[in-house]
Chains A and B, each alone.
Chain A
Amino acid sequence: MSEQIVTLRNPQGHALHCMYEAPPAGVPRRDLACVLLSPGVKMRVAPHRLYRKVAGEFLARGISVMRVDFHGLGDSEGELPEEQLDQLYRQVQLGRHIDDARAALRWLEREQGIKRFIIGGLCGGALTGLLTAEGDESIAALYAIGIPVIIDGTGAHESANMTQGQLREMRGTYLSKLLDPRAWLRLLSFRSDFRTILRALLPKARPAGAKGAVAAAAGVPAPASALAANLNPRYAPAMFRLLRRGAPALLIFSGADRLHAEYQEKFVAPWSGALGEFDRLLRVDVVPHANHVLGDPAWVDAARALTADWLDQRFS
């Protein structure tokens, strides 16, 4: 373990406290670093220190790792004004922390002489990595665990934007409770979410996922179907731009996480034709049964194995 505390400043002058780790002795250092960005409101270690666990796969291959605290989070300076998490997540999804990520890249260039980067992390860290890659050609690849394609804080009822996958799962849960007296008591006490129950049990009354217009965005192929109302408007442009310049991406999803169904139904489905030409660049893997944060050693091991395989294919 040869980690170094790095305090750098973003363009707004906030001190960001990060951790930099070079490959261990005996492993030749390459001109490539992996930058792992704060997930959600958690800090540079990620839930149950996930970033420290996956970092080993990069380090073993000569790839330095930097774990970054965004401004207003972790130990860093700055304050985030939101009181509600969905509003905070929304700002992350719109690219609030791109400048923080860029500051880390420039530090690595200046202080370590590294010119190429793999960027990403878990959830909001992954998305910030994608949005940063859109405007930075030094980013050679995206490494994304549980990357969200939607935008939070739209104000719509939660059930309005549910995917077919989510509704199917909820339908199974509700049906399994038919013989449970406690479930009926709860229903009769009017504490249940009737809108969600109705949407789950009567899927044909209103198809899953509120739809927006079929909108054409600059640099994005025309979608084959109406887009989800809560699709992040920055996601598709950033992903297509990354792929068009030949940069590979590894997307790891968790089997028990709604984010995989959202990715499939809200991004892949409308652009399945256009995505076909990028098959060789875009790798998508699912860790069966896993929750969003990979909160079991077996799931972490699976993610590490996928990471190792991808790195060996792409960067050996």
Chain B
Amino acid sequence: MSAMPAPGGGEEPFFDGEGDTRLFGFAHRPVGESRGTVVFCHAFAEEKLWSHRVYVTFARELAQAGYGVLRFDVRGEGDSGSDFEETTVETRIEDTLRALQLAQQRFGRAAPVLVGHRFGGSIALAAAARVGANVRGVAVWDPVPDGAEYFSALLRTNLTTQMAVHGKVTRTRDVLIKSILEGETVVADGYGLGPALYRGMSELNWAQQPEWFTQPTLLVEVPVAGRTEPSAGLAAITQTKPSVTVQLATEPPFWRETRQFHRRAGAFTAATLGWLGSLA
């Protein structure tokens, strides 16, 4: 077991706002002289819950390294307001912009860096594109460059549930997506996925976002077995966007159930800390 950083009493949970607009956040004050501010965008739905302890450790390590860190729950998830089914990609981007402001109120006016995990990385990139120089850079852990493909993958647990209840798949992914587009809310892992969410996710296709990647960007990719080069899609981005760096980092899939207890993502953390240092 790696030594974990002690929180050191510099942590503070907080609410911002009330009712359905309430955001829950957690501020980690930097130890020593501040080197900058990081706002963390969590992964989507149950992936966020499986990953949560990794986020906490990452935030504590960054705080020890001199960064102020703000973690937050988007509306519809965790302890923030609103029902999950009422939220969209747009509410997630709005929440991220709000979190950036909250981070600046707490840690100073310098432009924060956004770090996002999986679909949270796409949200971070979308938010960064809206505020330009008000974000110093974006790091994405295990990118999800195709929102539609990701949405389709989310439906897997619905198929598993169909198998358990009916003994067979009665509605395929294509049928489910067609039903969603007709207005139905389809449940996966306990979360209701509706048409607004599907449309918003489908629009977050990196290949179709020329206005993204204007800030320094780190894409931390988990290589498939044996691969030593970035995937073609991410490599293509670096061809046209010189501010983008891709690093390969091997991590177990701590964002879903495995037989291990995951409390730290050492490779992601090292890559991110190194890149943050290069921004100074």
Query: At the interface, is chain B mostly helix, strand, loop or mixed?
Result: mixed
Q: Which of A76-84, A106-114, A138-146, A211-219 contacts B (4 or more CB under 8 A)?
A: A76-84
Q: How far is the CA of A132 from the CA of B251 in the complex (A)?
A: 37
Q: Which of A47-55, A192-200, A202-210, A233-241 contacts B (4 or more CB under 8 A)?
A: A47-55
The residues of A that contact B45 with a CB separation of less than 8 Å are 48
| Contact present for A84 and B259 (CB under 8 Å) | yes
Question: Which listed residue, B19, B49, B157, B189, touches A45 by the CB 8 Å rule?
Answer: B49
Query: At the interface, is chain A mostly helix, strand, loop or mixed?
Result: loop
| Contact present for B15 and A5 (CB under 8 Å) | yes
| Contact present for A5 and B261 (CB under 8 Å) | no
Q: How far is the CA of A256 from the CA of B165 in the complex (A)?
A: 8
| Contact present for A1 and B165 (CB under 8 Å) | no
The residues of A that contact B189 with a CB separation of less than 8 Å are 47-48, 295
B210 at the interface (CB under 8 A from A): no
| Contact present for B13 and A42 (CB under 8 Å) | no
Residue pairs across A and B with Cβ atoms less than 8 A apart, 17 shown, are A1-B22, A3-B15, A15-B7, A41-B53, A42-B52, A47-B46, A49-B84, A74-B53, A75-B13, A75-B26, A84-B260, A85-B259, A85-B260, A294-B190, A295-B161, A296-B187, A297-B190
| Contact present for A84 and B164 (CB under 8 Å) | no
Top 8 A-B pairs, shortest CB-CB distance = A48-B190, A295-B190, A289-B165, A79-B4, A5-B13, A88-B261, A42-B49, A256-B164
A73 at the interface (CB under 8 A from B): yes
Q: How far is the CA of A284 from the CA of B110 in the complex (A)?
A: 57
A136 at the interface (CB under 8 A from B): no
Query: With contacts A42-B52, A49-B190, A74-B53 known, what are 18 further pairs, Cβ within 8 A?
Result: A1-B81, A5-B14, A5-B15, A15-B11, A42-B50, A45-B78, A74-B52, A75-B56, A79-B1, A79-B4, A84-B260, A85-B258, A85-B259, A85-B261, A256-B164, A289-B164, A291-B164, A297-B192
Number of CB contacts from chain A to chain B under 8 A = 93
A86 at the interface (CB under 8 A from B): yes
B191 at the interface (CB under 8 A from A): yes
Q: How far is the CA of A72 from the CA of B261 in the complex (A)?
A: 11
Binding site for B on A (CB under 8 A): 1, 3, 5, 7, 15, 17, 19, 41-45, 47-50, 72-75, 77, 79-86, 88, 176, 256, 289, 291, 293-297, 300
| Contact present for A80 and B263 (CB under 8 Å) | yes
B79 at the interface (CB under 8 A from A): yes
| Contact present for B191 and A48 (CB under 8 Å) | yes
The residues of B that contact A73 with a CB separation of less than 8 Å are 53
The residues of A that contact B24 with a CB separation of less than 8 Å are 5
Q: How far is the CA of A173 from the CA of B11 in the complex (A)?
A: 50
B95 at the interface (CB under 8 A from A): no
B77 at the interface (CB under 8 A from A): yes
The residues of B that contact A45 with a CB separation of less than 8 Å are 49, 78-79
Q: How far is the CB of B117 from chain A (nearest CB, A)?
A: 16
| Contact present for A41 and B261 (CB under 8 Å) | yes
Known contacts A5-B13, A19-B79, A43 near B1 by CB under 8 Å:
no
| Contact present for A83 and B261 (CB under 8 Å) | yes
| Contact present for A48 and B161 (CB under 8 Å) | no
Q: How far is the CA of A296 from the CA of B187 in the complex (A)?
A: 6
| Contact present for A79 and B263 (CB under 8 Å) | yes
The residues of B that contact A75 with a CB separation of less than 8 Å are 11, 13, 26, 52, 56
The residues of A that contact B192 with a CB separation of less than 8 Å are 297
| Contact present for A296 and B190 (CB under 8 Å) | yes
| Contact present for B1 and A81 (CB under 8 Å) | yes
| Contact present for A43 and B261 (CB under 8 Å) | no
The residues of A that contact B84 with a CB separation of less than 8 Å are 48-49
Q: How far is the CA of A115 from the CA of B58 in the complex (A)?
A: 39
| Contact present for B19 and A1 (CB under 8 Å) | yes
The residues of A that contact B77 with a CB separation of less than 8 Å are 49
Q: How far is the CA of A88 from the CA of B260 in the complex (A)?
A: 9
Question: Which listed residue, A17, A50, A79, touches B13 by the CB 8 Å rule?
Answer: A17
B232-276 interface code vs A (CB 8 A; 1 in, 0 out): 000000000000000000000000001111010000000000000
